[in-house]
Amino acid sequence: MRPPIEYDPRYEVPEDGEADTQADLLDVLHSIADTTFTDTGRPLRSVHAKSHGLLRAELRVLPDLPSVLAQGLFAGPGTYPVVMRLSTTPGDVLEDSVSTPRGMALKVLGVQGPRLPGSENDATQDFVLVNATTFLNAGPKAFLGGLTMLAATTDKAPALKKMLSAALRQVEKAVEKAGGESAQLKGLGGHPATHPLGETYYSQVPFLFGRYMAKWALVPTAVGLTRLKDAPVDYAAGADVLRQVVAEHFAQQGGEWDLRVQLCTNIEEMPVEDASGEWPEDLSPYVTVARVVAPPQIGWSEALSEAVDDGMSFSVWHGLAAHRPLGSINRVRKAAYEMSSKLRARRRGEAIVEPESLDGLPFDHKAH
């Protein structure tokens, strides 16, 4: 592995009109939340509204990491409780047959050290990951354009979305058969009908890694998970079949993942500000710094949904200063996460606070 380069503030350059773009983004996200609240009476997230798995786990930082990897949360060995939330991207709660990219958020509890602004009184470190290596848009303006299109379709014609999704999956299948893949097709509903526990999840955008810069990946390693890679899911089996298959897996066995980092070794080929840019793995492979281990459990329940979906927020800005989010997409996300969390708290009539332990959370309640 080439030696990583150290962070330099010159690597971060605001996009033209970034503050205006951020204000427009907040308006669009607010409008999605308004629409879904009017429809459902529930204060849903503006994106990743529907959860498919809600899990308790442990993060085990590997011992004896080399100094370049022993940074921030990973500076020394330790074991931490974790909440995991598996979701799909839309802001409205759709049948799973509207097949979109999957997300995995981790909230690591009991993390000590200097904090990011806005999370000074907390002791959590969040990881917000999606099953694609790069962000769909290079910067905030392009992101705003895509989100505005998404907002225009929120709560519109769910039956039409199901038909469109089925058609787009066939197109995506043809593209993949020819050796390619299309993030755009997947984002519009053409994501293959596969098991979400077989996926690898990525941060897509970079973060500080102590003195260095890195991207994250959560890679399934337990045999029970690796055999689910590309395993088909039958969307005709029910509107919430993804919850069903996650619950079926965790009723029988647990799961284990590697948490890996990809260190930046060349700023020209691994830029901070182009969120759509692939960081070549031949320049810097992903390296394991911790393991995430989840025991057999329920996987999803209404009680858990109330505790985690409604009662928690996941943000890349909950965490240690040593893992500060980098680049313009991450900068505009800070205000978006804060607005969404405050809006949801106001509408549910109860503050959203960072958990201090897993005690009292209904991870052992049977699903009804």
Domains of the chain: 9-348 (2.40.180.10)
Whole-number pLDDT of residue 335: 77
The reported pLDDT for the residue numbered 31 is: 75
DSSP string, 239-294: TTHHHHHHHHHHHH--EEEEEEEEE---TTTS-SS-TT----TTTS--EEEEEEEE
Residue range 216-237, pLDDT digits in tens: 999 999 999 999 999 999 999 9
- pLDDT value at 368 more than 50: no
Confidence class for position 44, pLDDT limits 50, 70, 90: low
Is residue 150 pLDDT above 50, yes or no? yes
Q: What is the pLDDT of residues 119-136, one digit of tens each?
A: 999 999 999 999 999 887
**pTM confidence score:** 0.88
164, 130, 178, 99 alpha-carbon torsion, rounded to 10°: -20
CA dist., res. 238 & res. 302, Å (int) = 17
How sure is the predictor about 367, in pLDDT bands with cuts at 50, 70 and 90? very low
Rounded to whole angstroms, how far apart are CA atoms 191 and 136?
14
Mean pLDDT, the chain, as a whole number?
Answer: 87
pLDDT at 360 over 50: yes
Q: Say yes or no to pLDDT of 151 above 60.
A: no
In one-letter notation, the amino acid at residue 109 is L
pLDDT digits (tens, 9 = 90+) for 306-355: 999 999 999 999 999 999 999 988 888 787 767 777 777 787 888 888 99
Q: Find the range with the poorest average confidence among 90-104, 249-263, 294-308.
A: 90-104
Amino acid, res. 297: Q
pLDDT value of residue 286: 98
CA separation, residue 328 to residues 16, 56, 79, 198, 199 (Å): 10, 32, 32, 30, 27
Better-predicted residue by pLDDT, 59 or 27: 59
Query: Residue 87 contacts by C-beta under 8 Å, 6 or more apart in sequence?
Result: 48, 49, 50, 51, 52, 102, 103, 104, 105
Give pLDDT, residue 115. Answer: 98
Q: What's the N-to-C CA distance of the chain in angstroms?
A: 50
**What's the confidence (pLDDT) of residue 177?**
75
For residue 326 the two structure tokens come to 């980098």
Structure-block tokens of residue 334: 């800070």
- 153-193 pLDDT, tens digit each: 555 555 555 655 566 667 657 767 788 776 766 666 668 89
Q: How many CA atoms lie within 13 A of 262 on its CB side?
A: 26
Q: Check: CB of residue 121 under 8 Å from CB of residue 262.
A: no
What percentage of the chain exceeds 90 in pLDDT?
Answer: 58
Choice among 103-112, 141-150, 320-329, 330-339 with the minimum mean pLDDT: 141-150
